[in-house]
Amino acid sequence: MDAEKNSVLDVAIVGGGPAGVSAGLELAKLPNLKIGLFESEPELGGIPRSCHVFFGMRDRARLYTGPMYARKLDKIIRRTAVVIYTKSTVLDVEPGNSGELHRILVASKGGLKSYDCRFIILATGCFEISRQARRIPGTRPVGIFTTGSLQQIVNLSHHKPGKKALVIGSEIVSLSNVLTLKKAGIAIAGMVEENEHLQTYRMGAIPESLFYRYPIYKGTSVKEILGRRRVEAVELIRKKDQSLFQVECDMVVFSGKFRPDSAFIDNTPIEIDSSSLGPSVDSQLVTSVPNIFAAGNVLHGADMHDLCALEGKKAAQNIITKLESDKPLKRKGIFLRAEPPIRYVVPQWFDPSETEVYRGTWLHPGYEIQVDHTLINSVLEAWSGNERIWHHAFRRLIGNYRVHLPIWKFAWDRADWEKGVTIKVR
Amino acid sequence: MKFETDVLIIGGGITGASIARELSQYDIEVTVAEKSPDTFTQQTKSSHAFIYSDASLVNAVSLVLKSILDPEAKLWEPDSPKNKFANRGHALFAPLAERLDIPYEPLKCLVVARNDEQMQGLKKLYEITEEMGIKNDVKWLNPQEILDMEPNVNPNVQGGLYSEKSAKIVFPPDYAIANIDNARDNGVHFLYDAEVTEIETQDSGKRFVSRTPRHSITSKFIINAAGLYADKIADLANARDDWDIILFRSQMVLLDRSIATRFKTVNMILGPPAPGFFEGICLQTHGNPYIFCGKYNPIEDKGATETRSEWFKENLEHGKGLLGGFSEADVITSFTGVRAFNTRDREENIIEFSKNQPNFLNAAIRLPGFTFSAAVAEHVAELMQGRGVKLTKKSDYNPFRKGIPRFKQLSEREKEELIRRDPAYGRVICRCETVTEGEILEAIRRGARTIQGIQFRTRAGMGRCQRNFCGPRVVEILARELDLPVSKISKEGAGSEEIMYNSVD
């Protein structure tokens, strides 16, 4: 571009949420590294900026509110040598040929700049899919939100979008949703869960519903949204007896069902996993392109912020160990795939020689799955070809919630590298 | 507010907008009254926006669909008025698109048959194209040739037809807005939120006074381009002769742009139509594939555009049957479109002065309205001249219009240049579609006042996350630029404000 030479970075971090900032903090421990962190929003912190309580437990060993946690991340990263670019959007990632530098293209009001980078960490997070993508039929009025957009409006812009809301979904985010609605002074018309079981711990959901006095409709799904211009009511259908009933409200908030935000790498050779819809990575968090890493919810929509932070840190540590080496870090291992109702397994690749590294690491980022909906008395199994290499019975597998896979317990000696491993539910 | 004008066009959809643009080159006063706060809401926004000549594979498909009405009828009548309009509209389109900066692509259409019954349909289609005399365009393909052309198409194909000439595709808002921008540049007044509820005839039909909730418009002529509501508007002036409007609807399902990679050569794959039944998957100009299928389902209620779960299923099944390689997770949105036909002759348009009301011109256009639009506009001007209106060209007429720059599609050098000129183009607001604040501000400068107005002009919020991130931000930009509280910013007019209360309320 022009006469100006491209800037060179050792590491470019795309996304300034918990994963990206934590990666930056870890890398900044080394002197003389040129690190750039690119964030689209005006502030760092990512989704926690517009969230509620219970932040920072596993990564910062303290309890924060979402906004406090975000400010804390912002404050400490700005004390380091990491160069922060806010209101800067990464438009494109162009992987270099083997051994060459990768190039990223960044737009901001200051202009269009490109950076040549040795390593890249993708940490762009995720979003909740829209009402239409959930294939909810009916009219298309206003008043339909996702938790993400609702929290932006209420917690960042301080507006009140309606008077009475129906919450669709009963995951942890749905509970956070209720808090947001209450904060804005919006009444809750009820919570709707299509499965017979809540998608979160009962000890969280039930007291909340009693405290705020709203009904929980389990085993019920949305038949149709009504209202031409603004939502007027939602018609629900109870699965058991196929009975129909209407709930009046002027807002519908959909929660859960996350999808990684990876639109900007759509046209790159970075491989996207067909079940997680995010980049597919190995235990080192390397994508299919050497020296390009991914961490946080761009891998798995969605997991808790603190695990994302630890994942960011892990990607950074892996980069640090490879800084001296000239060899580009390539993805390796045996492929793990998820079979529905398992939504994904992340990372997707495992190198059995690393089994010992993972022994007993329950709380740290390791291998994990999420199931589509809460399952009662089910058995998780890992199969390679015709060999079952692991199984475990669960009394309650909570839907859309991280389940740690004790990968060190798998009988890797019986696994077939060609066939890979399939994680199933029985 | 009182207005006087020579010609009042009622309806700002593709037909009204094209007529306005056509008349704007002459020295007469033209006003457009649109009931919505922004242009086009109904048929125009949910159209396929195909532009095809009379003798084309796409038209042959639509002729087979028609045979549901009368199985014995002769399908191909080269001299029918409709075919003449299609031919003329198609011929006018490319140079117009050049002048008005409308992005378009050739519609490369593949029709595939997957079983014996469909092979019969395909043969029938081929016969029609032979009759049309377009052998040089329409090729008969064997299964291997089809799979070479489109490796991801259903492997059970038995035969197919392929055509790459004689048809084009645009993104509907691009075309409609280009017409409106150009008409406005040349002096046409556009009144929004201006639903005509009353028309008074004066001077024994020489003058009309049309009333909307906010305006009173005196005009010598009225052109009724109200689309779905053409019957209601004609009735207000007692100008509906021997026709009625009937409506049909069908649902379309839009897929994520990552599915675009499934298409290799063509941008539309159809099944052979049966009388009254169609199925297809098409790649839009801006990169989103969409599925359409079903019958035209008759309805009474003009606003009944709800989606249905059975239509979701049906669309996905047919889409997978044609192309495959995608799942429910690739659906990003869906909508139901309503199409209007007239009862006098469902196959034809009504473009004529009313017998009852000599200065009231009805333009009740059926699909493909985008194909017809430029030709209809030209014909309307001729009819006006026939009524003794002197149409003299303006000396300062500007036939050109420039679209809003699409940051995403520019080269790196152009992007850089644009940001240097206006830094707002460096701030990405919609991440999925890479739409910048500069584009949104330009859309507002050109008259966008609603969330949809921004969406249609810039595509902000039309991508994968469907406004999850940029939705609230677009509302705030609109509020800031229009100097209104956010609680006054609506999706598509009063009653559809996304945020009911401001923080200060």
Min Cα–Cα distance to chain A from B499, Å: 4
Residues B189 and B86 in one domain: yes
- Asked if B334 and A132 come within 8 Å (Cβ–Cβ), the reply is yes
With CA atoms as reference, report the closest residue to A161 among A250, A47, A49: A250
Domain membership flag for residue B255: yes
In a domain, B496, yes or no: no
Q: Which of B418, B439, B464 to mutate to test the interface with A (most CBs of A within 10 A)?
A: B464
CATH value at residue B394: 3.50.50.60
Chain B residues touching A230 at Cβ < 8 A: 495-497
- B423 part of a folded domain: yes
Cα-Cα end-to-end distance for chain A: 56
Nearest to B416 among A112, A163, A224 (CB): A112
Q: Are residues B260 and B232 in the same domain?
A: no
pLDDT band of A2, cuts 50, 70, 90: very low
Summarize chain B as % helix, strand, coil (round to 5): 35, 25, 40
Residues on chain A touching B255 (C-beta within 8 angstroms): none
Residues B270 and B388 both lie in one domain: no
From the list B258, B419, B467, the residue facing A149 with the nearest CB is B467
Q: Give the model's pLDDT for residue B502.
A: 83
Residue from the list B329, B492, B501 with its beta carbon closest to the beta carbon of A277? B329
Alpha carbon distance A273, A288 (integer Å) = 10
CB distance B254 to B44 below 8 Å = no
pLDDT at B329: 87
In whole angstroms, give the CA distance from residue B326 to residue B315: 12
Peptide bond into A302 cis (omega under 30): yes
Residues of A whose CB is below 8 A from B334: 132, 135
Is the Cβ pair B497, A142 closer than 8 Å? yes
Q: Is any Cβ of chain B less than 8 angstroms from the Cβ of A241?
A: no
In a domain, B495, yes or no: no
Alpha carbon distances (Å) from A155 to A152, A184, B469: 6, 9, 14
Smallest CA–CA distance, residue A118 to chain B, in Å, is: 22
Delimiting residues of CATH 3.50.50.60 domain(s) in chain A: 7-127+258-331, 130-254
Give CA–CA dist B423/A376, Å, rounded. 55
B157 plus B177 within the same structural domain: no
- Do residues B176 and B53 both lie within one domain? yes
Q: Does B257 touch chain A (CB under 8 A)?
A: yes
Contacts of B320 (CB under 8 A, 6+ apart): B326
Each residue of B13-52: b (16+ CB within 10 Å) or e?
bbbbbbbbbbbbbbebbbbbbbbbbbbbbbbbbbbbbbbb
* Contact (CB<8Å) B431/A264: yes
User: Quick check: B420 and A111 CB within 8 A?
Assistant: yes
CATH of the domain at B450: 1.10.10
Same domain, B259 and B329: yes
Whole-angstrom distance, CA of residue B448 vs CA of residue B477: 12
Residue of B nearest to A88 (CA): B427
Contact A1 B415 (CB under 8 A): no
The DSSP secondary-structure symbol of A138 reads B
Q: Chain B: nearest CA to A286, how far in angstroms? A: 22
Give A 190-229 residues with CB within 8 A of chain B: 224, 228-229
Burial (Cβ within 10 Å: 0-12, 13-18, ≥19) of residue A235: middle
Among candidates B328, B306, B329, which has minimal Cα distance to B316?
B328
Overall average pLDDT of the A45-61 stretch: 85
Q: How far is CA B473 from CA A50, A260, B504, in A?
A: 14, 20, 18
Same domain, yes or no: B64 and B192: yes
Contact status, residue B9 vs residue B190, Cβ threshold 8 Å: no
* Domain annotation covers residue B502: no
Mutate to test the interface with A, among B291, B408, B409, B469 (most CBs of A within 10 A): B469
Cα A142 to its chain centre, rounded Å, is 27
CA atoms within 13 A of residue A381's CA, in its CB half-sphere: 11
- B319 vs A contacts (CB less than 8 Å): none
CB contact, 8 Å: B463 with chain A?
A: yes
The reply to whether A269 touches chain B by the CB within 8 Å rule is no
- Is the CB of A110 inside 8 Å of chain B's CB atoms? yes
Measured between beta carbons, which residues in chain A are less than 8 angstroms from residue B423? 109-110
Checking DSSP bridges between strand A187-192 and strand A292-294, what pairing results, if any?
A: unpaired
Residue A3 has pLDDT above 50, yes or no: no
Strand partners, A329: none
Residue of A nearest to B261 (CA): A267
Q: Write the residue in B436, B465, B495 that is nearest to A229 by C-beta.
A: B495
Q: What is the pLDDT of residue B69?
A: 65
What average pLDDT does chain A have?
A: 91
Query: CB B412 to CB A40 under 8 A?
Result: no
B419 inside 8 A of chain A by CB: yes
A317 reaches B (C-beta below 8 A): no
Residue found by looking up tokens 């599925």 in the block: B291
Are both B306 and B450 inside the same structural domain? no
Shortest distance, CA A114 to any CA of chain B (angstroms): 10
Instruction: Give tens-digit pLDDT for A179-191.
Output: 999 999 999 999 9
Residues of A whose CB is below 8 A from B325: none
**Rounded distance, CA A272 to CA B330, Å?**
14
State the number of CA atoms in the 13 A half-sphere of B7 facing the CB.
29
| Chain B stretch 468-497, residues whose beta carbon is closer than 8 A to a beta carbon of chain A | 468-469, 471-472, 476, 486-487, 490-493, 495-497
Q: Which of A26-30, A122-126, B280-284, B321-325 has the lowest mean pLDDT?
A: B321-325
Nearest to B333 among A133, A224, A277 (CB): A133
B462 touching chain A per CB within 8 A: no
- Cα separation, B171 vs A425, whole angstroms: 44
- Percentage of chain A with pLDDT > 70? 98
- Three-state SS for B12-69 is CCHHHHHHHHHHCCECCCEEEECCCCCCCCCCCCCCCCEEECCCCHHHHHHHHHHCCC
Boundary (domain end) residue, out of B352, B370, B403? B403
Number of domains composing chain B: 3
Give the nearest chain A residue to B475 (CA atoms): A153
Q: How far is A153 from chain B (nearest CA, A)?
A: 6
- List the single best residue of A14, A115, A132, A228 to mutate versus B (max B Cβ within 10 A): A132
- Mention every residue, 6+ apart, whose C-beta is less than 8 A from residue A155: A49, A50, A51, A66, A67, A180, A183
Taking contacts as CB-CB distances below 8 angstroms, the residues of chain B near A131 are 466
Of chain B residues 287-306, which have a CB less than 8 A from chain A?
Answer: 303, 305-306
**pLDDT computed for residue A5 by the predictor:** 53
CATH topology of domain A130-254: FAD/NAD(P)-binding domain (3.50.50)
Chain A contact set for B472 (CB, 8 A):
149, 152-153, 156-157
3-class DSSP state of A206:
helix
Residues A389-405 have pLDDT tens digits of 999 999 988 888 888 99
Q: B484 in a domain, yes or no?
A: yes
Measured between CA atoms, how close is B492 to chain A, in angstroms?
8
B159's tokens? 């035969």
Minimum-distance CB partner of A159 among B305, B311, B502: B502
- Indicate if B239 and B250 belong to the same structural domain: no
Q: How high is the pLDDT of residue B67? A: 74
User: Is residue B500, in this structure, part of any structural domain at all?
Assistant: no
pLDDT at A338 exceeding the cut of 50: yes
In chain B, which residues have their Cβ closer than 8 Å to the Cβ of A262? none
Greater model confidence, A84 or A4: A84
* Average of per-residue pLDDT values in chain B: 94
In a domain, B253, yes or no: yes
- Please tell me whether residues B24 and B96 are part of one structural domain: yes
Below-50 pLDDT ranges, chain B:
none
Question: Do the chains contact at A149 and B468, CB–CB below 8 Å?
Answer: yes
Q: Chain A: give the shortest CA distance to residue B443, in Å.
A: 19
Using DSSP's 3-state secondary structure scheme, residue B485 falls into: coil
Identify which of A142, A158, A266 has the shortest CB distance to residue B503: A158
Domain of B192, in residue numbers: 1-101+170-244+343-403
Partner-chain contact B331 A133, CB within 8 Å: yes
Residue among A310, A284, A285 at smallest CA distance from A402: A310
Contact present, A367 and A314 (Cβ < 8 Å): no
Q: How confident is the model at residue A325 (pLDDT cuts 50, 70, 90)?
A: confident
Tell whether the model's pLDDT for residue A231 goes beyond 50: yes
What would the mean pLDDT of A165-184 be, rounded to a whole number? 91
Token reading at A1: 């571009």
Q: Give the separation between CA B57 and CA B51, rounded to whole angstroms.
A: 12
A105: chain B residues, CB-CB within 8 Å = 412
Same domain, B443 and B481: yes
How far is residue B461's CA from residue B441's CA, in Å, rounded to a whole number? 15
Q: Which of B304, B321, B342 is the last residue of a domain?
A: B342
Q: pLDDT value at position B106?
A: 96
Interchain CB contact of B465 with A (< 8 Å): yes
CATH 3.50.50.60 fits A7-127+258-331, yes or no: yes
How many whole angstroms separate alpha carbon A353 and alpha carbon A333?
9
Phi-psi region of A400 (alpha: psi -120 to 50; beta: other; left: phi over 0): left
A142–B431: do the CB atoms touch at under 8 Å?
no
Same domain, B337 and B348: no
- Predicted TM-score of the model (pTM): 0.95
Task: Tell me the pairing of strands B435-436 and B428-430.
Answer: antiparallel
Condensed to tens digits (0 to 9), the pLDDT of residues A350-366 reads: 998 888 888 877 777 88
CA distance B285 to chain A (A): 17
pLDDT tens profile B22-39: 999 999 999 999 999 987
Burial class (CB in 10 A: 0-12, 13-18, 19+), B145: middle
- Residue A129 has φ and ψ, to the nearest 5°, of -70, 155
